Structures are given as C-alpha cells and as structure tokens.
Amino acid sequence: MTAKAEAPILPPNQTYADVTDQLASIPLHFPARRRWLIALLLSSLLLGLLFVAATVLFTTGVGIWGLNIPVNWAFAIHNYVWWLGIGHAGTLISALLLLLGRDWRNSLNRFAETMTLFAVVCAGMYPILHLGRPWFVYWMFPYPATMQVWPQFRSPLEWDIWAVLTYLTVSVVFWYIGLIPDLAAARDRARRRGWQVFFGVLSLGWRGSAIHWLRWHHAYRLLAALAVPLVVSVHSEVSLLFASGTIPGWHSTIFPPYFVLGAAFSGFAVVAMIAIALRSLFNLQNLVTDDHLDILGKVLLATGLMTAYGYVFEVFDALYSGDAHELQTLSDRFFGQYWWSYWGAVFFNFVVLQPLWFRLVRRTPWMLFTISTSVAVGMWLERYMILVTSLYRDFLVSSWGEYHATFWDWAIYAGTIGLFLVPFLLIIRLLPVISIFEEKEVLHKEHEEASNARA
C-alpha cells in the first residue's frame, strides 16, 4: 500500500466474488456470535432502563428530572442536539461524498447511514419525552383540528418537528435505496428458505439489469442531492432553538454554522469509532483500510478545528458586543459553577485532537478510537455547556438558579444509548454492514486504473 492520495484505497489483490462472499456471509454465517450476544444483552438492559424511565416520566411528570426555573431545559434538549449531531455524519458521508465522487466513502456509508437512522430516532424521542403533556404532541402537527387552531409556524420548535421528520424520512429512504442491490446479493447467496424470502422481499425484485442500475443511480443521486441541504438545515434549525431566544450565550448569529460543524465533528467521531469496532469484529481490514482511518482522522481534525473556531468566535462575540449580560455569561462559562463543562469541551474537543496532525496516530486504530471517543464526550459537554451555562444565570440575578442532573436524567440518556445500540446490533446481524456493490465499484475502478496504467 502506498500513502499517495491517488493510490488505490482498497487493496487490489481481491476479486469481486471475494468481497461479496466476505460481506454477504456476515449475516448468513455470523462470525462473532458470543461477543455480539453479550453486546446485545447489555444494550437491551439499557433499552429496558429507557422503558422504565419513560414509564415513570409519563406517569409522574418531567419533575423527576433536575429541571427548574431558570434551567427548564437541560438533558432532554442537550442530548437531543447531541444525538442529532451524531446523526449528521451518515448523511454527509453518504450523500455529500457520493456527489463529490469520493470513493473512500463506499467502505463507510452503509453503517454510517445506519448510525444516522438510529441516532435520529434517539434524538426524535427527546422532544416527546421532554413535553409537560406528551400525550398532546400531535398538536405540533397541522392537522385539521375542529377548533381550527394551527401550530405556530414562527416557533423554532415547530420548524424542528419538520426538519427532523424530513431528515428522518429522507435518511430512511436513502439508506434503503442504497441497500437494495446488496439485499439482492444476499438473497442470491442465501441457502435457507427463510433468508431467501426475507431478502427476496426486501430487495424489491432487483435483478441487476442495466436499466435497474440506471434507475437506481438516478434515484440514489437525486436523494443524495436532497439529503445534503437537509444536513445543513436540520442542525441550523436546531441551533435556532437557542439563537431565537434572547438569552445571553444563545442569542448569536454564529449559531447555525457553529452547530452544523459541531454536528459533523461529533458524527465523524462516532463513524470512526464504529468503523474501527466493526473492522476488528469482522476482520474487514481489507475493506476498511488504514487509509480509511487516515482520511477519517483528517476530517475529524478539520471539523474539530472549525468547531474550535466557533469557540473562539463565541468569546470574541461576547467581548466585542461589550454587553454586560453576555460578558457575565462568558465569565460564568469560564469560571462559573459549570466551568468543567466549558473547559471539558475545550479539552476533549480541541486539546485531545492535536495528535491527529501525526500520520501514525491517524493510522493506529486504538489511538484514533480514543480520540474519537474523546470527541463524542467533548461534544456532549459542549451541548451541556451551551444549554446550562446560559440558562442558569440569565438576566435577572434574582432568578439565578442551579441545575443538577438526577438519576432519571441519566437513566433516560443511558436508555437512548440502548435504543441506539439494540437496533444497530440487529442490523449488523441481519444486513451487510458494508455496501458490497459499492465496494466492488471501487475495486472495479481501481482495477481499471491499474490496467490502464500498465497499458
């Protein structure tokens, strides 16, 4: 393997059949049953915790959380933003890089999209959980109510509903369309009747004809073109949830790009974590190569630096405005009760990131995994910081308060991790985790280029 940018990303010494066999056999002849079962068991426990916590929440009220006036938004909203941010990388990798013709995405897009799906589901849970009267959540939709009351379209929460639902719908369709050729491949390799029917139905009669491929390419690229602006709109919109309020620390025009970049940052970190985990679990070093990790490391570093730019500009904004309340909030972030959330974000998101300047670090799986984990934690702290340090001391000193997360705050959060992992584990058990045909496309291209070069 060579380190040159133009060099083939996949080792060329493999045939198409090898790739298909290797990937399609994962669901059919699952290699790591024990480890997978343990992981599923632990995740199910977390999911069970979510059910318990949600039951308590729905029966008694959001009072079980540590919320109060002034901090009447905390874990629910900040985890919502965090999950949604994680969900961003999938679409970015799949759609944006597809349109840009970056071949390395083909090793990552399938599980990145899967990750997006369940991260968005986790995120989508929160706006319902966090309602005082969740049974009226349908009032946020413009259904033809007999009282002729509409939702309020000025509210960022209303846009939120639309943005997230659109994003989820497009992500699901995009993920499924991308899956069809592989479902057909799995159908063709399945020996047992059950699997054949399962994959047969899901593959929608795919036969791999040229016209199929043509239609498929049209559809896939069209959806990709639709999905890319959604990545930007969803998180811009989420940021307006804050920026529309007058609260110091929120009321800033930098928020939309700041949030989108932060989202991509955390998303890529989680993609890197999953890539490294799957690669070692299923011995996919030949498909998710060190070069892939290298690229992921670079992207992480780039988005991380952009996020850091956001930090710098938040400080600059406050100082430049000279507004006493903004300065107060700035000092609360630096030195206040929740200083650890600010400096934690700076440390995990910026300081820990710096070794990525070195090639060795980027290509060493455990190092990249550690840094990615740190970014996931750092972004969690950043969302917490933005929410809590702004609200706990807003304008009037008399209404300053404190926020302390309760057991139930943590239970719901841990529960959503279960909600993310359980279906994710099921998917990697049931479906090809890496896009088979797209890998073969890359391989094909590489072989062609190689033979052209020889000629």
Q: Return residues touching another protein (CB under 8 A).
A: 60-63, 66-73, 127, 130-134, 136-137, 139-140, 149-152, 154-158, 160-161, 241, 244-247, 323-325, 328, 391, 394-402
Nearer to another protein, 224 or 391 (CB): 391
Distance between CA atoms of 42 and 399, rounded to whole angstroms?
Answer: 42
Going from the C-alpha of 297 to that of each of 72, 132, 302, 432, the distances in angstroms are: 37, 42, 9, 25
- Minimum CB separation from another protein for residue 400, in Å? 5
- Closer to another protein at the Cβ: 166 or 370? 166
Of the pair 138, 366, the CB lying nearest another protein is at 138
CA 409 to chain centre: 21
CB of 160 to another protein, least distance (A): 8
**Encoding tokens for residue 248?**
């110091």
Task: List the structure tokens of 295.
Answer: 């690229």
Q: Are 402 and 338 in contact (CB under 8 A)?
A: no
- Per-residue buried b or exposed e for 229-262, using 16+ beta carbons within 10 Å of the residue's own CB: ebbbbbbbbbbbbbbbbebbbbbbeebbbbbbbb
Shortest Å distance, C-beta 339 to another protein: 17
What are the C-alpha distances in Å from 436 to residues 32, 107, 221, 274, 407?
20, 9, 18, 18, 43
Q: How far is the CB of 395 from another protein (least distance, A)?
A: 5
Choose between 390 and 435: whose C-beta lies nearer to another protein: 390
Q: To the nearest whole angstrom, how small is the minimum distance from the Cβ of residue 165 to another protein?
A: 13
Residue 43, number of CB atoms within 10 A of its CB: 20
Other C-beta atoms closer than 10 Å to the C-beta of 360 total: 8
- As measured in angstroms, the least distance from the Cβ of 67 to another protein is 7
Closest approach, Cβ 56 to another protein, in A, equals: 12
Sorted by sequence, the CB contacts under 8 Å of residue 377 that are 6+ apart come out as 344, 348
CA atoms in the 13 A half-sphere facing the CB of 317: 19
Nearer to another protein, 160 or 314 (CB): 160
Rank residues 44 and 244 by Cβ distance to another protein and give the closer one. 244
DSSP summary character for residue 248: T
